[in-house]
Structure 1
Amino acid sequence: MIDDGPDPPPRPWSRLRSTSVFSSPWFDVRNDAAVRPDGSTGRYDHVVSSGSVTVVALAEDGRVAVTRQWIYTHGETQWRLPAGRIDSADSNPRAAAARELREETGISATSWRHLGTVNCADSFTNHRDHAFLATELDQGAARLEPGEADLRVYLLPFEEALSLVTDGLMPHAGSSFALLMVRALGVG
């Protein structure tokens, strides 16, 4: 039975203490002692990250910048949109998006639109991916990091990029979310 009445206010979790189990420049693994909504206590292990950004760089002719590279954690080459983590030097997610787009593709954009934010692996991490649409593009030189030496950039028609999502060939959550948002908003 579905109850259409108002939900009671949620009783939040309470953190009693949090201990860093492992820390790196990219993420922190934490072990928290917590009080659950039912009042019981327990342990909650999770990963804390600064988040990431994904960019739909949409050219005037309707083509989208798409990357293809080896993804170490998945052990395979994947199609993705330009994306990367939010660095401590980035003033906000939009600044990180502009930096990542320039580094990976050499593209800079004059016009930016926030498409939304998607939570990634909620029970495991606080990681959020901020998706952006970049237009009014200007091509420059990419500045790839050593781990991106195999990254290749393709300019695909929007429909072809979207078909990579619908055909299951672009498993990156931020990329799929961003392209589907552009379609839902009627921009691409």
Structure 2
Amino acid sequence: MTEQQPRDFLADTPEQWSVTATATPFTGNKTSVRADDVVMPDGSTARRDYQVHPGSVAVVALDERDRAVVIEQYRHPVRHKLWEIPAGLLDIPGENPLHAAQRELYEEAHIKAEDWRVLTDIYTTPGGSDEAVRVFLARELSEADGERYAADGEELDMRLARVPVDDLVRAVLAGRLHNTCLTVGVLALQAARAGEGIDALRPASAPWPARPFPA
């Protein structure tokens, strides 16, 4: 017989296991690697190495024809050009994630949006990184004001497109698209539509315990 659980039991809970020693063997431009000796439930100690990450935001930007803005960009660690949604780092500690998402949408696609909501919050690879990502839904799109952002690095070779959401979902399920934020974003959008609807999504200002920001 299956034990009956309260409706709200499906929630991740903060917890901090004891750390007896810590070191930072590598520090990069935006991220670093930390090595912690963590006390296990049986009292033993195990080394856990992981990437320390400032956090990120990503945007499913949806136009009036139900097309999402996507960007093709080279990603050297996986040796692929990946189709992605606009995204970027939380470069400023404590920065409002909505402001960061608006900036990324402008810089990568030269677009602004009037309606913003939170689609989902995720840890991308919690076994090896503390990266947290907030994925927004942006609607009522229009061309941004001013000059286009001056691209550099991998962004010099970016390709921009607008693709129907249904096509993106099919490509994800067929194994043709692999970017985490795109995959989670478009599937979360479809799930929201099939469930309580877009209007039931959290507001863009919803608290984000993984990366707290001023109200």
Q: TM-score, normalised by structure 2?
A: 0.78
> What residue is the counterpart of 1:59 in the other structure?
63
> What residue is the counterpart of 1:159 in the other structure?
166
> What residue is the counterpart of 1:175 in the other structure?
182
> What residue is the counterpart of 2:95 in the other structure?
91
**How much does 1:91 deviate?**
1.5
Establish whether residue 24 from structure 1 lines up as the match of residue 28 from structure 2: yes
Distance 1:159 1:34 in 2: 44
* Residue from 148, 151, 158 that aligns with 2:155: 148
Moved more, 83-92 or 104-113: 83-92
Establish whether residue 109 from structure 1 lines up as the match of residue 113 from structure 2: yes
- Three-state SS of the structure 2 residue aligned to 1:185 is helix
Distance 1:10 1:74 in 2: 31
8 Å Cα contact 1:48/1:126 also seen in 2? yes
- Three-state SS of the structure 1 residue aligned to 2:157 is coil
The number of residues matched between the two structures is 186
Q: Which runs of 5+ in 2 are unaligned?
A: 199-215
- Three-state SS of the structure 2 residue aligned to 1:37 is coil
Establish whether residue 14 from structure 1 lines up as the match of residue 18 from structure 2: yes
> What residue is the counterpart of 1:47 in the other structure?
51
RMSD: 2.4
Q: Percent identity?
A: 33
Report the CA distance shift for 1:84/1:93 in structure 2 as closer, same or farther (over 3 A).
same
**How much does 1:154 deviate?**
0.2
More strand by share: 1
* Residue from 81, 86, 107 that aligns with 2:85: 81
Report the CA distance shift for 1:117/1:70 in structure 2 as closer, same or farther (over 3 A).
same
Q: TM-score, normalised by structure 1?
A: 0.88
Distance 2:125 2:100 in 1: 21
**How much does 1:178 deviate?**
0.7
8 Å Cα contact 1:165/1:176 also seen in 2? yes
Distance 2:62 2:78 in 1: 27
**How much does 1:175 deviate?**
1.1
Distance 2:83 2:66 in 1: 18
